[in-house]
Chains A and B, each alone.
Chain A
Protein backbone atom coordinates (compact mmCIF):
# COMPACT_ATOMS: atom_id res chain seq x y z
CA UNK A 1 0.00 0.00 0.00
CA UNK A 2 2.77 2.33 -0.89
CA UNK A 3 0.89 3.92 -3.77
CA UNK A 4 0.93 7.72 -3.82
CA UNK A 5 -2.81 8.29 -3.60
CA UNK A 6 -4.23 11.69 -2.80
CA UNK A 7 -7.50 10.30 -1.44
CA UNK A 8 -7.08 8.87 2.03
CA UNK A 9 -10.47 7.19 2.53
CA UNK A 10 -11.30 4.19 0.40
CA UNK A 11 -13.46 1.11 1.06
CA UNK A 12 -11.48 -1.84 2.29
CA UNK A 13 -12.08 -4.18 -0.70
CA UNK A 14 -10.92 -1.51 -3.10
CA UNK A 15 -7.69 -1.16 -1.16
CA UNK A 16 -6.95 -4.87 -1.69
CA UNK A 17 -7.70 -4.83 -5.39
CA UNK A 18 -5.88 -1.63 -6.18
CA UNK A 19 -2.67 -2.81 -4.50
CA UNK A 20 -2.60 -5.67 -6.99
CA UNK A 21 -3.01 -3.36 -9.92
CA UNK A 22 -0.11 -1.10 -8.92
CA UNK A 23 2.46 -3.20 -10.72
CA UNK A 24 3.34 -2.11 -14.23
CA UNK A 25 0.74 0.58 -14.70
CA UNK A 26 1.78 3.20 -17.20
CA UNK A 27 1.62 6.63 -15.67
CA UNK A 28 0.41 8.64 -18.65
CA UNK A 29 -1.80 11.67 -18.09
CA UNK A 30 -4.37 9.72 -16.07
CA UNK A 31 -5.17 10.97 -12.61
CA UNK A 32 -5.50 8.78 -9.57
CA UNK A 33 -9.32 8.96 -9.56
CA UNK A 34 -9.69 6.25 -12.12
CA UNK A 35 -7.97 3.66 -9.96
CA UNK A 36 -10.81 3.46 -7.49
CA UNK A 37 -13.17 2.06 -10.09
CA UNK A 38 -10.91 -0.71 -11.35
CA UNK A 39 -11.68 -4.29 -10.64
CA UNK A 40 -8.93 -6.76 -11.27
CA UNK A 41 -10.44 -9.98 -12.52
CA UNK A 42 -8.26 -12.87 -11.56
CA UNK A 43 -10.58 -15.72 -12.52
CA UNK A 44 -12.02 -16.24 -15.98
CA UNK A 45 -11.55 -18.47 -18.99
CA UNK A 46 -10.36 -15.72 -21.32
CA UNK A 47 -7.56 -13.64 -19.91
CA UNK A 48 -8.44 -9.97 -19.62
CA UNK A 49 -5.11 -8.85 -21.05
CA UNK A 50 -4.80 -8.17 -24.75
CA UNK A 51 -1.55 -9.50 -26.13
CA UNK A 52 0.76 -7.47 -28.32
CA UNK A 53 4.03 -8.45 -29.94
CA UNK A 54 6.73 -5.84 -30.29
CA UNK A 55 10.14 -5.93 -31.92
CA UNK A 56 13.36 -4.28 -30.80
CA UNK A 57 15.38 -3.95 -34.03
CA UNK A 58 19.03 -3.12 -33.48
CA UNK A 59 21.39 -1.75 -36.07
CA UNK A 60 24.68 -2.99 -34.67
CA UNK A 61 27.77 -0.76 -34.81
CA UNK A 62 29.50 -0.44 -38.17
CA UNK A 63 32.63 1.31 -36.92
CA UNK A 64 34.75 0.79 -33.81
CA UNK A 65 34.28 3.11 -30.87
CA UNK A 66 36.80 5.82 -30.09
CA UNK A 67 39.17 5.01 -27.29
CA UNK A 68 38.83 6.70 -23.93
CA UNK A 69 41.95 8.52 -22.64
CA UNK A 70 43.06 5.71 -20.37
CA UNK A 71 42.64 3.23 -23.20
CA UNK A 72 44.78 5.42 -25.45
CA UNK A 73 47.52 5.68 -22.85
CA UNK A 74 47.49 2.00 -22.15
CA UNK A 75 47.60 1.12 -25.83
CA UNK A 76 50.65 3.32 -26.33
CA UNK A 77 52.35 1.79 -23.32
CA UNK A 78 51.70 -1.74 -24.54
CA UNK A 79 53.04 -0.97 -27.99
CA UNK A 80 56.18 0.58 -26.50
CA UNK A 81 56.80 -2.35 -24.18
CA UNK A 82 56.32 -4.86 -26.95
CA UNK A 83 58.70 -2.96 -29.17
CA UNK A 84 61.33 -2.81 -26.46
CA UNK A 85 61.18 -6.52 -25.75
CA UNK A 86 61.17 -7.62 -29.38
CA UNK A 87 63.97 -8.73 -31.70
CA UNK A 88 64.87 -7.07 -34.97
CA UNK A 89 62.77 -8.15 -37.91
CA UNK A 90 64.11 -9.07 -41.35
CA UNK A 91 63.10 -5.72 -42.75
CA UNK A 92 64.92 -3.85 -39.99
CA UNK A 93 68.03 -5.93 -40.49
CA UNK A 94 67.94 -5.09 -44.16
CA UNK A 95 67.62 -1.41 -43.33
CA UNK A 96 70.69 -1.61 -41.12
CA UNK A 97 72.67 -3.49 -43.75
CA UNK A 98 71.75 -0.97 -46.42
CA UNK A 99 72.75 1.88 -44.15
CA UNK A 100 76.09 0.19 -43.48
CA UNK A 101 76.60 -0.37 -47.22
CA UNK A 102 75.89 3.28 -47.94
CA UNK A 103 78.37 4.39 -45.34
CA UNK A 104 80.98 2.04 -46.82
CA UNK A 105 80.33 3.39 -50.31
CA UNK A 106 80.95 6.93 -49.11
CA UNK A 107 84.50 6.07 -48.05
CA UNK A 108 87.31 6.65 -50.41
CA UNK A 109 88.77 3.17 -50.65
CA UNK A 110 85.51 1.43 -51.52
CA UNK A 111 85.80 -1.65 -53.66
CA UNK A 112 82.51 -3.13 -54.78
CA UNK A 113 84.09 -6.53 -55.48
CA UNK A 114 84.65 -7.07 -51.76
CA UNK A 115 80.94 -7.15 -51.03
CA UNK A 116 79.61 -10.58 -50.15
CA UNK A 117 76.03 -10.38 -51.27
CA UNK A 118 76.35 -7.92 -54.05
CA UNK A 119 73.55 -8.74 -56.39
CA UNK A 120 71.13 -6.78 -58.51
CA UNK A 121 68.75 -6.77 -55.61
CA UNK A 122 70.56 -3.82 -54.12
CA UNK A 123 68.93 -1.51 -56.60
CA UNK A 124 65.75 -1.52 -54.54
CA UNK A 125 66.73 -0.82 -50.96
CA UNK A 126 64.55 -1.40 -47.97
CA UNK A 127 64.05 2.33 -47.59
CA UNK A 128 62.69 2.52 -51.13
CA UNK A 129 60.24 -0.22 -50.32
CA UNK A 130 59.02 1.69 -47.30
CA UNK A 131 58.48 4.79 -49.41
CA UNK A 132 56.54 2.81 -52.02
CA UNK A 133 54.28 1.38 -49.34
CA UNK A 134 53.61 4.77 -47.80
CA UNK A 135 52.70 6.17 -51.18
CA UNK A 136 50.22 3.36 -51.79
CA UNK A 137 48.59 4.00 -48.43
CA UNK A 138 48.19 7.69 -49.21
CA UNK A 139 46.54 6.89 -52.55
CA UNK A 140 43.71 5.04 -50.82
CA UNK A 141 40.86 7.19 -49.51
CA UNK A 142 38.80 5.44 -46.85
CA UNK A 143 35.29 6.51 -45.93
CA UNK A 144 34.91 8.89 -43.01
CA UNK A 145 34.29 7.37 -39.62
CA UNK A 146 31.57 9.81 -38.66
CA UNK A 147 29.35 11.38 -41.24
CA UNK A 148 28.74 14.43 -39.12
CA UNK A 149 24.95 14.09 -39.15
CA UNK A 150 24.77 12.66 -35.67
CA UNK A 151 22.64 15.27 -34.05
CA UNK A 152 20.38 16.40 -36.82
CA UNK A 153 18.61 13.55 -38.48
CA UNK A 154 17.18 11.03 -36.08
CA UNK A 155 15.54 8.96 -38.78
CA UNK A 156 18.66 8.07 -40.76
CA UNK A 157 20.15 4.69 -39.99
CA UNK A 158 23.61 6.01 -40.88
CA UNK A 159 23.72 8.07 -37.70
CA UNK A 160 26.16 7.18 -34.94
CA UNK A 161 28.10 4.42 -36.66
CA UNK A 162 29.97 3.48 -33.51
CA UNK A 163 26.88 2.67 -31.42
CA UNK A 164 24.01 0.27 -31.76
CA UNK A 165 20.73 1.99 -32.65
CA UNK A 166 17.13 0.98 -31.87
CA UNK A 167 14.18 1.70 -34.12
CA UNK A 168 11.27 3.68 -32.64
CA UNK A 169 7.93 4.51 -34.25
CA UNK A 170 5.40 7.15 -33.40
CA UNK A 171 2.01 5.61 -32.90
CA UNK A 172 -1.51 6.65 -31.91
CA UNK A 173 -2.40 5.10 -28.59
CA UNK A 174 -5.82 6.16 -27.43
CA UNK A 175 -5.89 9.88 -27.86
CA UNK A 176 -2.17 10.48 -27.87
CA UNK A 177 0.75 10.03 -30.19
CA UNK A 178 3.55 8.20 -28.44
CA UNK A 179 6.99 6.98 -29.42
CA UNK A 180 7.10 3.19 -29.05
CA UNK A 181 8.95 0.15 -30.27
CA UNK A 182 7.00 -1.19 -33.25
CA UNK A 183 4.18 -3.36 -31.92
CA UNK A 184 1.03 -5.00 -33.23
CA UNK A 185 -1.86 -6.94 -31.71
CA UNK A 186 -1.60 -10.68 -31.44
CA UNK A 187 -3.98 -12.77 -33.55
CA UNK A 188 -5.28 -16.23 -32.78
CA UNK A 189 -3.26 -19.05 -34.24
CA UNK A 190 0.18 -17.45 -34.41
CA UNK A 191 3.05 -17.44 -31.98
CA UNK A 192 4.22 -14.20 -30.44
CA UNK A 193 7.39 -14.27 -32.49
CA UNK A 194 5.31 -14.29 -35.65
CA UNK A 195 3.41 -11.33 -34.27
CA UNK A 196 6.66 -9.49 -33.81
CA UNK A 197 7.74 -10.34 -37.36
CA UNK A 198 4.43 -9.06 -38.62
CA UNK A 199 4.91 -5.88 -36.61
CA UNK A 200 8.22 -5.31 -38.38
CA UNK A 201 6.85 -6.10 -41.82
CA UNK A 202 3.78 -3.93 -41.44
CA UNK A 203 5.70 -0.73 -40.83
CA UNK A 204 4.65 1.67 -43.54
CA UNK A 205 7.35 2.69 -45.94
CA UNK A 206 10.18 0.74 -44.36
CA UNK A 207 11.76 -2.25 -46.04
CA UNK A 208 13.72 -3.70 -43.16
CA UNK A 209 15.06 -7.24 -43.00
CA UNK A 210 16.04 -8.47 -39.58
CA UNK A 211 17.18 -11.73 -38.00
CA UNK A 212 15.20 -12.57 -34.90
CA UNK A 213 17.28 -13.89 -32.04
CA UNK A 214 15.30 -16.85 -30.74
CA UNK A 215 11.72 -17.71 -29.95
CA UNK A 216 11.60 -16.34 -26.44
CA UNK A 217 10.67 -12.75 -25.61
CA UNK A 218 13.36 -10.62 -24.03
CA UNK A 219 11.08 -8.38 -21.98
CA UNK A 220 7.51 -7.40 -21.36
CA UNK A 221 5.45 -4.38 -20.41
CA UNK A 222 1.88 -4.33 -19.20
CA UNK A 223 -0.44 -1.41 -18.80
CA UNK A 224 -4.11 -0.85 -18.07
CA UNK A 225 -6.56 0.86 -20.32
CA UNK A 226 -8.15 4.04 -19.06
CA UNK A 227 -11.48 3.70 -17.31
CA UNK A 228 -13.65 4.71 -20.23
CA UNK A 229 -12.16 2.19 -22.64
CA UNK A 230 -12.18 -0.70 -20.19
CA UNK A 231 -14.84 -3.24 -20.96
CA UNK A 232 -15.88 -6.44 -19.24
CA UNK A 233 -13.29 -8.67 -20.78
CA UNK A 234 -10.30 -6.42 -21.25
CA UNK A 235 -8.39 -4.78 -18.47
CA UNK A 236 -5.25 -3.79 -20.23
CA UNK A 237 -2.59 -4.99 -22.55
CA UNK A 238 0.65 -6.93 -22.26
CA UNK A 239 3.39 -6.20 -24.74
CA UNK A 240 6.13 -8.80 -25.26
CA UNK A 241 9.37 -7.60 -26.85
CA UNK A 242 11.52 -9.65 -29.20
CA UNK A 243 15.07 -8.84 -30.15
CA UNK A 244 16.17 -8.67 -33.75
CA UNK A 245 19.36 -7.67 -35.55
CA UNK A 246 19.09 -5.61 -38.71
CA UNK A 247 20.51 -7.66 -41.58
CA UNK A 248 19.93 -5.66 -44.74
CA UNK A 249 21.37 -2.21 -44.78
CA UNK A 250 19.43 -0.36 -47.42
CA UNK A 251 19.74 3.34 -46.93
CA UNK A 252 16.12 4.08 -47.64
CA UNK A 253 15.15 7.37 -46.08
CA UNK A 254 12.40 6.98 -43.52
CA UNK A 255 9.81 9.55 -42.57
CA UNK A 256 11.29 11.91 -40.07
CA UNK A 257 8.27 12.31 -37.90
CA UNK A 258 7.29 8.71 -37.52
CA UNK A 259 10.62 6.82 -37.41
CA UNK A 260 13.72 7.30 -35.32
CA UNK A 261 16.95 5.41 -34.81
CA UNK A 262 18.16 6.17 -31.30
CA UNK A 263 21.01 5.18 -29.04
CA UNK A 264 20.36 3.81 -25.58
CA UNK A 265 21.10 7.10 -23.80
CA UNK A 266 18.79 9.02 -26.12
CA UNK A 267 15.85 6.77 -25.32
CA UNK A 268 14.76 8.92 -22.39
CA UNK A 269 13.99 11.80 -24.77
CA UNK A 270 11.51 9.67 -26.64
CA UNK A 271 9.87 7.13 -24.35
CA UNK A 272 7.60 7.48 -21.35
CA UNK A 273 9.26 6.80 -17.97
CA UNK A 274 7.47 3.55 -17.03
CA UNK A 275 7.84 2.14 -20.53
CA UNK A 276 11.47 3.22 -20.62
CA UNK A 277 12.18 1.48 -17.35
CA UNK A 278 11.15 -1.88 -18.75
CA UNK A 279 12.78 -1.39 -22.13
CA UNK A 280 16.16 -0.30 -20.76
CA UNK A 281 16.62 -3.63 -19.01
CA UNK A 282 17.13 -5.70 -22.10
CA UNK A 283 18.86 -3.20 -24.35
CA UNK A 284 22.57 -3.55 -23.85
CA UNK A 285 24.83 -0.78 -25.03
CA UNK A 286 28.24 -1.96 -23.92
Chain B
Protein backbone atom coordinates (compact mmCIF):
# COMPACT_ATOMS: atom_id res chain seq x y z
CA UNK B 1 0.00 0.00 0.00
CA UNK B 2 1.43 3.28 -0.96
CA UNK B 3 1.37 6.23 1.38
CA UNK B 4 -1.30 8.70 0.57
CA UNK B 5 -0.33 10.83 -2.34
CA UNK B 6 -2.20 14.05 -2.45
CA UNK B 7 -1.27 17.09 -4.43
CA UNK B 8 -0.25 20.00 -2.34
CA UNK B 9 -3.18 22.02 -3.53
CA UNK B 10 -6.33 21.43 -5.45
CA UNK B 11 -5.90 21.05 -9.18
CA UNK B 12 -6.57 24.15 -11.16
CA UNK B 13 -9.15 23.09 -13.70
CA UNK B 14 -11.66 20.31 -13.46
CA UNK B 15 -10.33 17.65 -15.75
CA UNK B 16 -12.52 15.81 -18.15
CA UNK B 17 -12.65 12.12 -17.43
CA UNK B 18 -10.09 10.28 -19.42
CA UNK B 19 -11.45 8.20 -22.21
CA UNK B 20 -11.02 4.49 -21.68
CA UNK B 21 -7.81 2.93 -22.85
CA UNK B 22 -7.74 2.52 -26.56
CA UNK B 23 -5.78 -0.49 -27.51
CA UNK B 24 -3.44 0.42 -30.25
CA UNK B 25 -1.11 -1.98 -31.91
CA UNK B 26 2.30 -1.34 -30.58
CA UNK B 27 4.79 0.03 -33.04
CA UNK B 28 7.50 -2.35 -31.98
CA UNK B 29 5.42 -5.45 -31.78
CA UNK B 30 3.13 -6.69 -29.09
CA UNK B 31 4.45 -6.64 -25.56
CA UNK B 32 3.72 -9.50 -23.26
CA UNK B 33 0.61 -8.89 -21.28
CA UNK B 34 1.97 -8.21 -17.87
CA UNK B 35 0.43 -8.59 -14.58
CA UNK B 36 2.19 -8.08 -11.36
CA UNK B 37 1.12 -10.31 -8.60
CA UNK B 38 -0.23 -8.36 -5.73
CA UNK B 39 2.22 -8.08 -2.89
CA UNK B 40 2.72 -11.56 -1.62
CA UNK B 41 0.40 -11.70 1.28
CA UNK B 42 -2.28 -9.18 0.44
CA UNK B 43 -4.76 -11.26 -1.36
CA UNK B 44 -3.41 -14.67 -0.66
CA UNK B 45 -5.91 -16.30 1.60
CA UNK B 46 -4.48 -18.34 4.44
CA UNK B 47 -4.13 -21.86 3.13
CA UNK B 48 -5.03 -24.84 5.26
CA UNK B 49 -1.35 -25.24 5.99
CA UNK B 50 -1.11 -21.77 7.43
CA UNK B 51 -4.25 -21.28 9.41
CA UNK B 52 -4.82 -17.83 10.80
CA UNK B 53 -4.48 -17.87 14.52
CA UNK B 54 -6.28 -15.72 16.96
CA UNK B 55 -4.04 -14.18 19.51
CA UNK B 56 -5.51 -13.74 22.90
CA UNK B 57 -3.37 -10.91 23.99
CA UNK B 58 -0.74 -8.52 22.97
CA UNK B 59 2.47 -10.20 21.89
CA UNK B 60 4.46 -7.32 20.53
CA UNK B 61 4.93 -8.38 16.94
CA UNK B 62 4.35 -4.87 15.67
CA UNK B 63 7.56 -3.82 17.32
CA UNK B 64 9.25 -5.36 14.31
CA UNK B 65 8.23 -2.31 12.30
CA UNK B 66 10.14 -0.09 14.65
CA UNK B 67 13.13 -2.39 14.47
CA UNK B 68 12.98 -2.25 10.71
CA UNK B 69 12.92 1.51 10.74
CA UNK B 70 15.88 1.76 13.06
CA UNK B 71 17.92 -0.59 10.94
CA UNK B 72 17.03 1.25 7.76
CA UNK B 73 17.92 4.59 9.19
CA UNK B 74 21.21 3.29 10.44
CA UNK B 75 22.13 1.93 7.05
CA UNK B 76 20.97 4.95 5.14
CA UNK B 77 19.18 5.08 1.84
CA UNK B 78 20.38 5.36 -1.73
CA UNK B 79 18.68 6.96 -4.65
CA UNK B 80 19.92 7.41 -8.20
CA UNK B 81 18.16 9.71 -10.57
CA UNK B 82 18.95 10.58 -14.15
CA UNK B 83 17.78 13.64 -16.00
CA UNK B 84 17.60 13.51 -19.76
CA UNK B 85 16.74 16.27 -22.15
CA UNK B 86 18.15 18.82 -24.50
CA UNK B 87 20.31 21.54 -23.13
CA UNK B 88 18.59 24.63 -21.96
CA UNK B 89 15.49 22.87 -20.70
CA UNK B 90 16.37 23.51 -17.11
CA UNK B 91 17.47 20.09 -15.99
CA UNK B 92 20.13 21.15 -13.54
CA UNK B 93 17.90 23.85 -12.13
CA UNK B 94 15.15 21.30 -11.68
CA UNK B 95 17.43 19.00 -9.76
CA UNK B 96 18.53 21.84 -7.55
CA UNK B 97 14.94 22.76 -6.91
CA UNK B 98 13.91 19.23 -6.17
CA UNK B 99 16.52 18.70 -3.55
CA UNK B 100 16.73 22.27 -2.41
CA UNK B 101 20.47 22.42 -2.70
CA UNK B 102 23.12 23.22 -5.20
CA UNK B 103 23.75 19.84 -6.74
CA UNK B 104 25.83 21.57 -9.32
CA UNK B 105 25.93 24.99 -10.71
CA UNK B 106 23.27 25.39 -13.34
CA UNK B 107 24.99 26.24 -16.58
CA UNK B 108 23.89 29.41 -18.24
CA UNK B 109 24.11 29.03 -21.97
CA UNK B 110 26.61 31.06 -23.84
CA UNK B 111 28.87 31.68 -20.87
CA UNK B 112 32.06 30.09 -22.01
CA UNK B 113 31.12 26.44 -21.64
CA UNK B 114 31.02 25.06 -25.15
CA UNK B 115 28.23 22.71 -26.10
CA UNK B 116 29.59 19.19 -25.75
CA UNK B 117 30.09 17.66 -29.13
CA UNK B 118 29.14 14.21 -28.01
CA UNK B 119 26.79 12.98 -25.40
CA UNK B 120 28.56 12.75 -22.09
CA UNK B 121 27.06 11.52 -18.90
CA UNK B 122 28.04 13.24 -15.72
CA UNK B 123 27.28 11.93 -12.30
CA UNK B 124 27.51 13.67 -9.02
CA UNK B 125 26.86 12.08 -5.65
CA UNK B 126 25.89 13.78 -2.44
CA UNK B 127 24.80 12.70 0.97
CA UNK B 128 21.88 14.66 2.26
CA UNK B 129 20.30 14.31 5.62
CA UNK B 130 16.95 15.30 6.95
CA UNK B 131 15.59 14.49 10.37
CA UNK B 132 18.02 11.69 10.89
CA UNK B 133 17.41 10.09 7.52
CA UNK B 134 20.55 9.88 5.43
CA UNK B 135 20.13 9.71 1.71
CA UNK B 136 22.96 9.09 -0.71
CA UNK B 137 21.75 10.81 -3.82
CA UNK B 138 23.35 10.37 -7.22
CA UNK B 139 22.26 12.57 -10.07
CA UNK B 140 23.32 11.75 -13.60
CA UNK B 141 23.07 14.45 -16.20
CA UNK B 142 23.18 14.04 -19.94
CA UNK B 143 24.48 17.19 -21.53
CA UNK B 144 24.56 16.99 -25.27
CA UNK B 145 21.51 14.80 -25.62
CA UNK B 146 19.60 15.67 -28.73
CA UNK B 147 21.81 18.65 -29.46
CA UNK B 148 23.56 17.39 -32.54
CA UNK B 149 22.33 17.76 -36.05
CA UNK B 150 22.17 14.02 -36.46
CA UNK B 151 20.77 12.56 -33.29
CA UNK B 152 20.59 9.04 -34.49
CA UNK B 153 21.22 6.57 -31.69
CA UNK B 154 21.81 9.27 -29.13
CA UNK B 155 20.09 7.05 -26.62
CA UNK B 156 22.78 4.42 -26.90
CA UNK B 157 25.21 5.89 -24.38
CA UNK B 158 22.37 6.36 -21.94
CA UNK B 159 21.16 2.82 -22.34
CA UNK B 160 24.73 1.69 -22.11
CA UNK B 161 25.17 3.52 -18.85
CA UNK B 162 21.98 2.14 -17.35
CA UNK B 163 22.81 -1.39 -18.39
CA UNK B 164 26.31 -0.87 -17.12
CA UNK B 165 24.97 -0.19 -13.67
CA UNK B 166 22.85 -3.31 -13.80
CA UNK B 167 25.93 -5.22 -14.89
CA UNK B 168 27.89 -3.90 -11.96
CA UNK B 169 25.25 -4.99 -9.53
CA UNK B 170 24.95 -8.37 -11.19
CA UNK B 171 28.67 -8.95 -10.98
CA UNK B 172 28.60 -8.17 -7.32
CA UNK B 173 25.66 -10.42 -6.76
CA UNK B 174 27.12 -13.50 -8.34
CA UNK B 175 30.35 -13.42 -6.43
CA UNK B 176 31.00 -16.28 -4.09
CA UNK B 177 32.02 -14.07 -1.23
CA UNK B 178 29.90 -11.05 -1.49
CA UNK B 179 29.49 -7.92 0.52
CA UNK B 180 26.85 -7.59 3.12
CA UNK B 181 25.33 -4.64 1.36
CA UNK B 182 25.86 -4.36 -2.35
CA UNK B 183 26.23 -0.70 -3.31
CA UNK B 184 23.30 0.20 -5.46
CA UNK B 185 24.20 2.41 -8.40
CA UNK B 186 21.32 1.39 -10.62
CA UNK B 187 19.28 4.20 -11.99
CA UNK B 188 16.00 4.21 -10.14
CA UNK B 189 14.29 6.94 -12.06
CA UNK B 190 14.85 8.76 -15.30
CA UNK B 191 13.19 12.14 -15.66
CA UNK B 192 12.68 12.99 -19.28
CA UNK B 193 12.30 16.64 -20.17
CA UNK B 194 9.94 17.31 -23.04
CA UNK B 195 10.46 20.67 -24.68
CA UNK B 196 7.34 22.82 -24.50
CA UNK B 197 6.52 22.97 -28.18
CA UNK B 198 2.84 22.73 -27.43
CA UNK B 199 2.21 20.34 -30.28
CA UNK B 200 3.02 16.74 -29.56
CA UNK B 201 5.93 14.44 -28.92
CA UNK B 202 8.74 14.67 -31.41
CA UNK B 203 10.13 11.57 -33.11
CA UNK B 204 13.26 11.80 -31.00
CA UNK B 205 11.17 11.79 -27.85
CA UNK B 206 9.13 8.85 -29.00
CA UNK B 207 12.15 6.80 -30.00
CA UNK B 208 13.91 7.50 -26.76
CA UNK B 209 10.91 6.83 -24.57
CA UNK B 210 10.10 3.60 -26.31
CA UNK B 211 13.55 2.25 -25.71
CA UNK B 212 13.99 3.52 -22.24
CA UNK B 213 10.66 2.53 -20.80
CA UNK B 214 11.64 -1.08 -20.96
CA UNK B 215 14.83 -0.63 -19.02
CA UNK B 216 14.15 1.97 -16.42
CA UNK B 217 11.31 3.89 -14.78
CA UNK B 218 10.72 6.97 -16.88
CA UNK B 219 8.85 10.04 -15.69
CA UNK B 220 8.29 12.52 -18.50
CA UNK B 221 7.81 16.16 -17.61
CA UNK B 222 7.04 19.22 -19.66
CA UNK B 223 9.98 21.48 -19.11
CA UNK B 224 9.90 25.24 -18.94
CA UNK B 225 6.16 25.13 -18.64
CA UNK B 226 6.00 28.83 -18.01
CA UNK B 227 5.94 29.38 -21.75
CA UNK B 228 2.56 27.68 -22.02
CA UNK B 229 -0.75 28.95 -20.77
CA UNK B 230 -2.91 26.71 -18.68
CA UNK B 231 -5.14 25.71 -21.58
CA UNK B 232 -2.19 25.08 -23.82
CA UNK B 233 -0.70 22.96 -21.10
CA UNK B 234 -3.75 20.81 -20.83
CA UNK B 235 -4.01 20.34 -24.56
CA UNK B 236 -0.34 19.51 -24.80
CA UNK B 237 -0.66 17.06 -21.99
CA UNK B 238 -3.57 15.28 -23.60
CA UNK B 239 -1.74 15.02 -26.86
CA UNK B 240 1.32 13.64 -25.17
CA UNK B 241 -0.77 11.09 -23.31
CA UNK B 242 -2.37 10.10 -26.56
CA UNK B 243 1.01 9.72 -28.19
CA UNK B 244 2.29 7.62 -25.34
CA UNK B 245 -0.66 5.32 -25.60
CA UNK B 246 -0.40 5.11 -29.34
CA UNK B 247 3.16 3.90 -29.09
CA UNK B 248 2.62 1.60 -26.13
CA UNK B 249 4.98 3.53 -23.93
CA UNK B 250 4.48 2.71 -20.29
CA UNK B 251 5.83 5.46 -18.14
CA UNK B 252 6.02 5.34 -14.40
CA UNK B 253 3.73 4.56 -12.57
CA UNK B 254 3.17 1.59 -14.81
CA UNK B 255 -0.35 0.31 -14.94
CA UNK B 256 0.71 -3.31 -14.84
CA UNK B 257 2.40 -2.96 -11.49
CA UNK B 258 -0.52 -1.72 -9.52
CA UNK B 259 -0.84 -3.97 -6.56
CA UNK B 260 -4.40 -3.56 -5.48
CA UNK B 261 -7.41 -1.40 -5.91
CA UNK B 262 -6.10 1.37 -3.69
CA UNK B 263 -2.92 1.58 -5.67
CA UNK B 264 -4.79 1.67 -8.89
CA UNK B 265 -6.96 4.54 -7.77
CA UNK B 266 -3.98 6.43 -6.48
CA UNK B 267 -1.89 5.84 -9.54
CA UNK B 268 -4.70 6.63 -11.91
CA UNK B 269 -4.80 10.07 -10.47
CA UNK B 270 -1.11 10.41 -11.09
CA UNK B 271 -1.29 8.95 -14.54
CA UNK B 272 -3.93 11.46 -15.36
CA UNK B 273 -1.54 14.32 -14.75
CA UNK B 274 1.53 12.85 -16.35
CA UNK B 275 3.48 14.55 -17.83
CA UNK B 276 3.71 17.21 -15.18
CA UNK B 277 4.26 20.73 -16.36
CA UNK B 278 7.13 21.97 -14.25
CA UNK B 279 9.15 25.04 -13.75
CA UNK B 280 12.45 25.01 -11.98
CA UNK B 281 13.92 27.81 -10.00
CA UNK B 282 16.60 28.05 -7.40
CA UNK B 283 16.35 31.68 -6.49
CA UNK B 284 14.19 33.06 -3.81
CA UNK B 285 12.00 36.06 -4.09
CA UNK B 286 9.76 37.91 -1.78
CA UNK B 287 6.08 37.49 -2.52
CA UNK B 288 3.45 38.84 -0.17
CA UNK B 289 5.92 38.81 2.64
CA UNK B 290 6.89 35.18 2.09
CA UNK B 291 10.12 33.97 0.70
CA UNK B 292 9.42 31.62 -2.15
CA UNK B 293 11.39 29.91 -4.83
CA UNK B 294 10.46 31.31 -8.16
CA UNK B 295 11.34 32.84 -11.48
CA UNK B 296 11.07 36.55 -11.72
CA UNK B 297 9.93 37.99 -15.00
CA UNK B 298 8.68 41.35 -16.04
CA UNK B 299 5.09 40.20 -15.98
CA UNK B 300 5.17 38.48 -12.64
CA UNK B 301 6.82 35.97 -10.43
CA UNK B 302 6.23 32.32 -11.17
CA UNK B 303 6.15 30.49 -7.88
CA UNK B 304 7.54 27.06 -8.19
CA UNK B 305 5.68 25.58 -5.27
CA UNK B 306 2.34 27.08 -6.09
CA UNK B 307 0.03 24.54 -7.63
CA UNK B 308 -1.79 27.25 -9.49
CA UNK B 309 1.36 28.16 -11.32
CA UNK B 310 3.02 24.87 -12.10
CA UNK B 311 2.96 21.25 -11.12
CA UNK B 312 6.32 21.03 -9.52
CA UNK B 313 4.91 19.95 -6.14
CA UNK B 314 3.32 16.96 -7.85
CA UNK B 315 6.63 15.89 -9.27
CA UNK B 316 8.37 16.36 -5.98
CA UNK B 317 5.75 14.43 -4.09
CA UNK B 318 5.80 11.63 -6.57
CA UNK B 319 9.53 11.30 -6.70
CA UNK B 320 10.43 11.86 -3.10
CA UNK B 321 7.63 11.87 -0.67
CA UNK B 322 5.51 8.97 -1.69
CA UNK B 323 6.96 6.81 -4.40
CA UNK B 324 10.66 6.78 -3.84
CA UNK B 325 10.69 3.34 -2.29
CA UNK B 326 8.36 2.11 -4.98
CA UNK B 327 10.72 3.35 -7.68
CA UNK B 328 13.56 1.48 -6.09
CA UNK B 329 11.48 -1.66 -5.70
CA UNK B 330 10.36 -1.72 -9.29
CA UNK B 331 13.91 -1.15 -10.47
CA UNK B 332 15.13 -4.01 -8.32
CA UNK B 333 12.32 -6.47 -8.81
CA UNK B 334 11.47 -5.90 -12.44
CA UNK B 335 14.05 -4.06 -14.47
CA UNK B 336 17.07 -5.58 -12.83
CA UNK B 337 15.57 -9.06 -12.94
CA UNK B 338 14.84 -8.68 -16.63
CA UNK B 339 18.39 -7.67 -17.26
CA UNK B 340 19.62 -10.59 -15.23
CA UNK B 341 17.46 -13.05 -17.13
CA UNK B 342 18.73 -11.62 -20.36
CA UNK B 343 22.37 -11.91 -19.34
CA UNK B 344 22.06 -15.38 -17.89
CA UNK B 345 20.31 -16.64 -20.98
CA UNK B 346 23.08 -15.13 -23.02
CA UNK B 347 25.61 -17.19 -21.14
CA UNK B 348 23.94 -20.40 -22.24
CA UNK B 349 23.54 -21.37 -18.69
CA UNK B 350 23.51 -24.99 -17.85
CA UNK B 351 20.13 -25.88 -16.57
CA UNK B 352 20.05 -26.51 -12.89
CA UNK B 353 22.28 -29.42 -12.17
CA UNK B 354 26.01 -29.15 -11.98
CA UNK B 355 25.21 -25.84 -10.53
CA UNK B 356 25.85 -22.22 -10.79
CA UNK B 357 26.29 -20.29 -13.94
CA UNK B 358 29.25 -18.27 -14.97
CA UNK B 359 28.54 -15.23 -17.01
CA UNK B 360 29.79 -14.82 -20.50
CA UNK B 361 31.91 -11.73 -20.62
CA UNK B 362 29.76 -8.66 -20.75
CA UNK B 363 29.26 -7.51 -24.29
CA UNK B 364 31.23 -4.41 -25.11
CA UNK B 365 28.12 -2.89 -26.47
CA UNK B 366 25.73 -2.89 -23.57
CA UNK B 367 23.02 -1.11 -25.43
CA UNK B 368 21.13 -4.24 -26.23
CA UNK B 369 17.91 -3.85 -24.39
CA UNK B 370 16.43 -6.99 -22.97
CA UNK B 371 13.38 -6.54 -25.09
CA UNK B 372 9.83 -6.40 -23.92
CA UNK B 373 9.36 -7.14 -20.30
CA UNK B 374 9.94 -10.83 -20.06
CA UNK B 375 8.93 -11.18 -16.49
CA UNK B 376 5.49 -12.54 -16.16
CA UNK B 377 3.50 -12.30 -13.04
CA UNK B 378 0.21 -13.89 -12.26
CA UNK B 379 -2.54 -11.78 -11.00
CA UNK B 380 -4.96 -12.99 -8.44
CA UNK B 381 -7.60 -10.55 -9.42
CA UNK B 382 -7.79 -10.85 -13.14
CA UNK B 383 -7.92 -7.28 -14.22
CA UNK B 384 -8.05 -6.91 -17.90
CA UNK B 385 -5.68 -4.03 -18.19
CA UNK B 386 -3.34 -4.90 -20.94
CA UNK B 387 -0.60 -2.94 -22.44
A and B pair up: no
